[in-house]
Amino acid sequence: MKLYLLRHGETDWNKARKIQGCTDIPLNDYGRELAGQTGEGMKDIPIDLVITSPLIRAKETAQLVMQGRDVEVVENPQIQEMNFGEYEGRPSDEEPTASILRAFFKNPGAYPPPKQGESIPELLERTGDFLKELFGNPKLQDKNILVSTHGAAMTGLVNNIKGQLEVNDFWKMGVPPNCAVTIVSIEGGEATIVEENHIYY
């Protein structure tokens, strides 16, 4: 099995530095351009299955990357973005949100998840569950799979693959750029990262 973990293209909220989370924001024109260029860069890579977050920015990115190909697309909520609850929609550079985000990125263990929001350990658990189910599926062992997801969710997936589950190390490798692709090879249930945050545009 080979996975191509893909972060979605840019949205207006990305550009305005607003907290997105589970708020369903579409790609902007630049995000669509990035996805199209990524699709062009990946055109010679065979893909057997697409698994996407249900959020429109991830679905649209997958559609643009796979444009012209007849491949099954499956939605899976386990790889949707982290739920930021009442923080969603707030500008990230205004207080009190700026202080909250400093904790989130610089000292994740001190990040206070909002009411009805999600903690980093909860995100690691659900993305880890997704990988266990995927790696254990006998029908997918010889498949190339595109996984279209989000910045924090993709980081959760990569940290699970690396076995890096300490909350304070969550952002050790930084935030994946929009439309970055991390390539993962799985053989005998063992996952190896082939390349991290490859850019095709």
Active site positions, annotated: 8, 81
Question: Can you point out the beta strands (E) in the chain?
Answer: 2-7, 49-52, 72-75, 144-149, 181-187, 190-198
Closest CA to 27 of 196, 198, 178: 178
Q: Return the structure tokens found at 195.
A: 């390349």
Phi, psi of 82 (to 5 degrees): -55, 140
* Residue showing tokens 């973005």: 81
CA distance 112 to 102: 11
Q: Return the structure tokens found at 107.
A: 């000292």
Residues 6+ apart with CB under 8 A from 174: none
